[in-house]
C-alpha cells in the first residue's frame, strides 16, 4: 500500500463526519456521465474544480468584459476577476455554514465559462439572432459538457446551470453561488462605476446605504453576514428578508443608472455590431462546409468563446480593408550603407 492510496477516502470520510447534515458529500455524488477511475488524492468535487481551472474557457475569461468594455485601466473587473470574487465570497459562506467548500468553489469557478465577449451586451445580441435564444448559463454547461468535455459531476453542472436567477439549484452549495454571484457583481460594479466617475457614493440610494454602509468593504461584509445569519442550520441558503429587500433595491438602482443607460454603455452599439456581423459572416462561411442545421450552433459556439479583443481582431480581419503590402526588402538600407560616409 502506497502512502497516497487512501487519501481520497479519508477526505470523503472527513466530509461525512464533519460537514453539516445538509452538505453535499462527494462520496455520495450522483457521479459523471462517463464513468472513470477515481483519483487517489482528490475528491470528485476537488477534481471538478481543478478541471475547470485548467480549461481553456477559464483562461479566456481574463479578456472578457464584466461591465466596462475592454478596459485599459487594469483595476476594472473583467469576467475572470468577477469569477474569482464570486468564488471567494461563496467559499466564505460555505465554510461558515459548514457546507461543501470544494463543490461550492467548483461551481463558482465554472459559472461564467460560457459568457460571450462584451458581457451581457454580446449575450443579448446572440439571444436575438439564434433560434431558441442564447443564455450564458446554458452555454457554460455546453462548454464543460461538450466543447471541453470536462466530464464534471452532476452537482457541479447543476450549480453552473442554476447560478442565474430564476433557476432552482438542487444543492445548498449551488444556492450559495447563486447568491454570491449577485453579491459580488452589485458591489464590485458599484466600485468600478465610482472609479470611472459614472456615479459617486452620494448618488447611491440613501436607505440602502444607511442599512449596508457606503463603504465597499463594510457593505460587502454586511451582505455576506446576512446570508450566513439567515442560513445557519437550515437546508436552504438565503439572505434575510430585510437585507434581501435592500439588496434588490440596490440592484434595481444599478440597472437604471449604470447597466442600462450610462457612459459605461456608450460603446455597446459598436460591440453589438461586431457580434452581429461576425455571426452573419460565419454562418455564411459555414454554408459550404457543414449541414444547415449545424450552422448556427457552430457559429454561436465560436463567437461566444471569443474574448473581446479576439472578436475585434476577427472583425477587423474580415470587414476592415488593409493597405497593400509590397514585398520590398531592405535593399535601400544596404545601398545607403554604401554611399553615406
Q: Could you tell me if residue 127 is inside a domain? A: yes
- Phi, psi at residue 78, to the nearest 5°? -115, 180
Position 133 pLDDT exceeds 70: yes
Rounded CA gap, 332 and 110, in Å? 55
Please state, for a pLDDT cut of 70, what percent of the chain lies above it: 94
Question: Do 188 and 205 lie in a common domain?
Answer: yes
Structural domain for 148, as ranges: 44-266
Mean of pLDDT values over 311-317: 96
Whether residue 1 has pLDDT greater than 60: no
258: three-class secondary structure by DSSP: helix
Contact yes or no for 94/101 (Cβ under 8 A): yes
Question: Does one domain contain both 184 and 292?
Answer: no
Average of pLDDT values for 123-132?
Answer: 97
What is the structure's pLDDT at 70? 64
Q: Alpha carbon 78 to chain centroid distance? A: 9
Mean pLDDT on 4-14: 91
Residue 313 and residue 177 share a domain: no
Q: Within this chain, do residues 275 and 260 fall inside the same structural domain, yes or no?
A: no
Contact 259, 119 (CB under 8 A): no
Would residue 336 count as lying in a domain? no
Residue 323: the pLDDT is 75
The model's confidence at residue 328, banded by pLDDT at 50, 70 and 90, is low
274-292: pLDDT as tens digits: 999 999 999 999 998 989 9
| Residues contacting residue 103 through CB under 8 Å, at least 6 positions apart | 24, 26, 45, 48, 155, 156, 159, 171, 173
Burial 206-241 (b: 16+ CB within 10 A, else e): eebbebbeeeeeebbebbbbbbbebbeeeeebbbee
pLDDT at 261: 72
35: CB partners within 8 A, 6+ apart: none
Q: Are residues 200 and 280 in the same domain?
A: no
Q: What CATH number corresponds to the domain at position 255? A: 1.10.3210.10
Is residue 254 classed as helix, strand or coil in its secondary structure? helix
Cα separation, 277 vs 314, in Å, equals 10
121 belongs to a structural domain: yes
Do 137 and 82 lie in a common domain? yes
Whether residue 71 is predicted with pLDDT greater than 60 in this model: the reply is no
- 72: pLDDT confidence band, cut at 50, 70 and 90? low
pLDDT at 341: 58
Mean pLDDT over 336-340 rounds to: 71
> What does the pLDDT average to over 75-101?
97
- Describe the crossing of helices 101-110 and 154-161 by its angle, rounded to 10 degrees: 50
Taking residues 47-70, report their average pLDDT. Answer: 94
Residue 45: name the closest of 29, 56, 58 by CA: 29
> Are residue 87 and residue 147 in the same domain, yes or no?
yes
Whether residues 289 and 176 fall in one domain: no
211 and 298 in a single domain? The answer is no
- From the CB of residue 245, how many other CB atoms can be counted at a distance below 10 Å? 14
Contact 107, 171 (CB under 8 A): no
Pair 245, 286 in one domain: no
Residue-wise pLDDT for 180-213, tens only, equals: 999 999 999 999 999 989 999 999 999 999 999 9
- Asked if residue 22 belongs to a domain, the reply is no
Q: Using one digit for the tens of pLDDT, what is the confidence trace for 221-269?
A: 999 999 999 999 999 999 999 999 999 999 999 999 998 877 777 889 9
Q: In this predicted model, what pLDDT tens digit does every residue of 144-169 receive, in sequence order?
A: 999 999 999 999 999 999 999 999 99
Predicted confidence at residue 84, as pLDDT, reads 98
Is the predicted pLDDT of residue 220 greater than 90, yes or no? yes
Q: What is the pLDDT of residue 3?
A: 66
Rounded to two decimals, the pTM is: 0.93
293 in the same domain as 210: no
Residue burial 258-280, b: 16+ Cβ < 10 Å; e: rest: bbeebebbeebeebbebbbebbe
Supply the mean pLDDT for the chain.
93
Q: Classify 162 as helix, strand or coil.
A: coil
Amino acid at each position: 500500500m502506497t502512502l497516497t492510496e487512501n487519501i481520497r477516502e479519508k477526505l470523503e470520510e472527513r466530509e461525512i463526519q464533519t460537514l453539516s447534515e445538509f452538505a453535499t458529500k462527494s462520496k455520495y455524488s450522483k457521479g459523471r456521465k462517463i464513468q472513470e477511475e477515481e483519483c487517489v488524492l482528490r475528491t470528485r468535487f476537488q477534481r471538478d474544480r481543478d478541471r475547470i481551472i485548467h480549461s481553456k474557457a477559464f483562461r479566456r475569461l481574463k479578456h472578457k468584459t464584466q461591465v466596462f468594455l475592454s478596459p485599459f485601466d487594469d483595476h476594472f473587473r473583467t469576467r475572470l476577476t468577477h469569477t474569482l470574487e464570486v468564488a471567494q465570497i461563496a467559499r466564505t459562506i460555505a465554510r461558515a455554514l459548514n457546507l461543501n467548500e470544494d463543490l461550492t468553489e467548483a461551481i463558482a469557478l465554472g459559472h461564467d465559462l460560457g459568457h460571450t465577449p462584451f458581457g451581457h451586451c454580446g449575450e443579448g445580441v446572440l439571444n436575438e439572432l439564434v433560434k431558441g435564444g442564447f443564455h450564458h448559463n446554458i452555454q457554460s454547461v455546453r462548454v464543460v459538457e461538450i466543447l471541453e468535455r470536462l466530464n464534471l459531476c452532476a452537482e457541479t453542472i447543476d450549480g453552473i446551470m442554476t447560478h442565474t436567477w430564476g433557476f432552482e439549484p438542487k444543492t445548498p452549495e449551488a444556492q450559495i453561488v447563486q447568491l454570491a454571484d449577485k453579491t459580488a457583481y452589485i458591489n464590485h460594479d458599484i466600485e468600478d462605476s465610482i472609479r470611472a466617475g459614472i456615479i459617486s457614493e452620494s448618488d447611491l440610494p440613501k436607505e440602502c446605504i444607511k442599512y449596508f454602509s457606503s463603504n465597499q468593504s463594510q457593505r460587502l461584509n454586511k451582505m455576506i453576514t446576512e446570508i450566513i445569519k439567515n442560513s445557519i442550520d437550515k437546508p436552504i441558503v438565503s439572505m434575510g428578508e430585510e437585507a434581501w429587500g435592500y439588496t434588490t433595491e440596490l440592484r434595481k438602482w444599478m440597472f437604471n443608472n449604470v447597466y442600462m443607460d450610462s457612459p459605461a454603455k456608450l460603446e455597446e452599439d459598436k460591440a453589438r455590431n461586431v457580434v452581429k456581423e461576425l455571426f452573419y459572416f460565419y454562418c455564411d462561411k459555414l454554408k459550404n462546409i457543414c449541414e444547415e442545421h449545424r450552422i448556427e450552433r457552430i457559429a454561436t459556439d465560436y463567437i461566444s468563446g471569443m474574448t473581446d479583443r479576439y472578436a475585434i481582431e476577427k472583425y477587423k480581419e474580415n470587414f476592415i480593408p488593409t493597405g497593400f503590402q509590397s514585398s520590398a526588402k531592405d535593399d535601400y538600407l544596404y545601398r545607403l550603407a554604401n554611399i553615406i560616409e
